[in-house]
Amino acid sequence: MSLIQSVLKLPRTYKRAISLLIDSVFLLCAFWLALFMRLESFSPLFEQNYWLVFACALPLCLLAFVKLGLYRAVLRYMNMQAVWAIALGSVVSAMFIIGLSFTLNAGIPRTVPFIFMSLCLIFVGGSRISVRAVISHQLWHKKASVLIYGAGSAGRQLSNALSQGPEYHAVAFVDDDIALHRSVIQGIRVYSPDEISTLVINKKVEKILLAMPSASRARRKEVLSKIDSLGVEVLTIPGMADVVDGKAKLEEFKDVGVEDLLGRDPVEPKPELMNADVAGKIVMVTGAGGSIGSELCRQIILLKPAKLVLFELSEFGLYTIDKELNEYILTHGLAVEVMPLLGSVQNVNRIETVMKSFAVQTVYHAAAYKHVPLVEHNVVEGVRNNVFGTYYAARAAINANVETFVLISTDKAVRPTNIMGTTKRMAELVLQALSKTQKSTRFCMVRFGNVLGSSGSVVPLFRKQIRAGGPVTLTHPDITRYFMTIPEASQLVIQAGAMGKGGDVFVLDMGDSVKIYDLARKIIQLGGFSVKEDQTPEGDIEIKCTGLRPGEKLYEELLIGDNVAGTTHERIMSAQEAMLDWFELEPMLNSLDEACHAFDHELIREILFIAPTGFNPTDGICDLVWQQKVQEPVKTAEVIELKVAN
């Protein structure tokens, strides 16, 4: 083995010279063995004419192999092209023997060239196949054993890619197609899914690779449910579209997406709804650098607006999305102007000037503080940004004659137990009230739950904790949430906005809610680890519950009541909910503004109670600055008492 490794490490020129020398010996052996097999005598060795024929044929045969590219083929990656080169070279070599025999009048029997051709195939071709097998066998001992789920086109391509790589070798295929069971594809046997657990043990499988790029999410969820408890890491290959576009390689594996665990396939967007408020129009996205805002921008660019205005408070967030969009526009030759603008939605003059200057026609208002505990700790800023930021943006839209204004709302606005959800419900009430006062700007709200991959999403946190060896932390074992992918949510927001008539509250169909504890278990198990709990104390990763955070709910809801109607889109519903007239809401906003300015948290909370938000807090006032100010008089009194005592 060490000799083979030494040869493989030689420069390419040296290896070709060695191949030529060895093939010369093989041709010599094939020629004289063919004569011996035909004549059953060693007497030809003493015939001068035979030696002359071989001496002339040898360089011609080697030249034929060279011209056919045999020595350009890398031995360990030898494919059908190299096999054809050997076969054709052997045929040409036999023809040289025939021609030289007649030319030199050597009297070589007519069957000898055909025997020589067969022996050439065996010696030249067989030697290469043998060396390749030895090298592959040696490398296999250093590779991890993997099982490929899916024996279709993607699975076969993956098997080929793995055989040429240094990391993995496939020991089995598993496929649902009964017709493929017990068959052998590329030297690898195909098994039934029922045999996976046995295969994992007997063949010491370290990873399972899902080669199902075209399967629906529902089908992938079904497959994952069969293998998530095997204690083997499960990875998936990229989609074939990404492979074809050059965005990924087939052998670039990735973690199983949580969208596959949810098993919910997105609905194809309706072009007429997607284009209605975007195509050829001047569109503005507030909070354009956030997770939802940036995905809205990506979807909007695809619809070819005349101009896209990015409004963002974070300089880095704005720079990132602006750079990404401009690269996409340049690559695809789009005629879309992108305007990156820094600004806060709390600055009414700035936002109104922007809308008027660019003659904005459609606004998607995604700017908001959405992190529940942070808003609990920063109440005034949460109210300012979420309530008054929305109010100022809406007023600016009316004054700038914007046609459509879409608010990105949240399921936490339904019977809220925290300040963040309450402020978002107040923002909804503001738009509903304003929609009654005028008809120039069409206001609507789109309410949905958590999006996978957003800032603050639990999934990246779980994966990071698993890589660190645990524990995986969640707030409560019974907590549930609705989930949706960012692209699907953004597409539905655009489509819902096109259906609004004024003051509409649209609710996205998020499917069934997911128990976060079960989600954490699946992510741990699909990572190849076991869960450490009372029943399995020897497990790898512990799931630790830390307790509900300030303002956090166990269960989220999407509707305040049962009064909901369907729309022309199967994933979008219209909620009929209580709203206020502007003359009722305006005094509340004025009082709330004064309370924020005075930093009067008791009054802020009282106003939020009075407004029809359904606010039902689970905690007291958690604002960090307010708590510090409350504690200061107590500390001062203690100091005075100590001085008096002394």
Spatial contact of 503 and 431, defined as CB atoms under 8 Å apart: yes
Residues in the chain: 646
Name the amino acid, one letter, at 312.
Answer: E
Spatial contact of 412 and 420, defined as CB atoms under 8 Å apart: yes
Name the amino acid, one letter, at 430.
Answer: V
Rounded to whole angstroms, the Cα distance separating 140 from 458 reads 38
Spatial contact of 421 and 413, defined as CB atoms under 8 Å apart: yes
Name the amino acid, one letter, at 34.
Answer: A
Q: What is the DSSP letter of 579?
A: -
Selection from 122, 163, 146 nearest residue 233 by Cα: 146
Selection from 571, 521, 529, 519 nearest residue 258 by Cα: 519
Q: At 617, list the tokens.
A: 């807090």
* Residue that is written with structure tokens 């399921």 in the block: 411
Rounded to whole angstroms, the Cα distance separating 388 from 569 reads 32
Residue 471 CB-half CA count within 13 A: 12
Q: What is the phi/psi pair of residue 34, to 5°?
A: -65, -40
Name the amino acid, one letter, at 490.
Answer: S
User: Count of H helices and E strands in the chain?
Assistant: 25, 23
Q: At 599, list the tokens.
A: 């930093």
Q: Which residues contact 288 (CB under 8 A, 6 or more apart)?
A: 294, 296, 297, 310, 311, 312, 317, 318, 321, 366
Burial readout 425-463 (b: 16 or more C-beta within 10 A, e: otherwise)? bbbbbbbbbbbbeeeebbbbbbbbbbbbebeebbbeebb
Catalytic residue among 143, 412, 522, 553: 412
Helix axes 419-437, 582-597, angle to 10 degrees: 140
Q: What burial class does residue 582 get, using C-beta atoms within 10 Å of its C-beta: 0-12 exposed, 13-18 middle, 19+ buried?
A: middle
Q: What 3-state DSSP class applies to 65? A: helix
Helices marked H in 378-446 — which ranges? 379-383, 389-399, 419-437
3-state helix, strand, coil in the chain (%, to 5): 55, 15, 30
Has 412 been annotated as catalytic? yes
Rounded to whole angstroms, the Cα distance separating 304 from 293 reads 17
CA separation, residue 215 to residues 154, 239, 415, 510, 571 (Å):
11, 10, 38, 21, 21
Q: Which residues are known catalytic residues?
A: 412
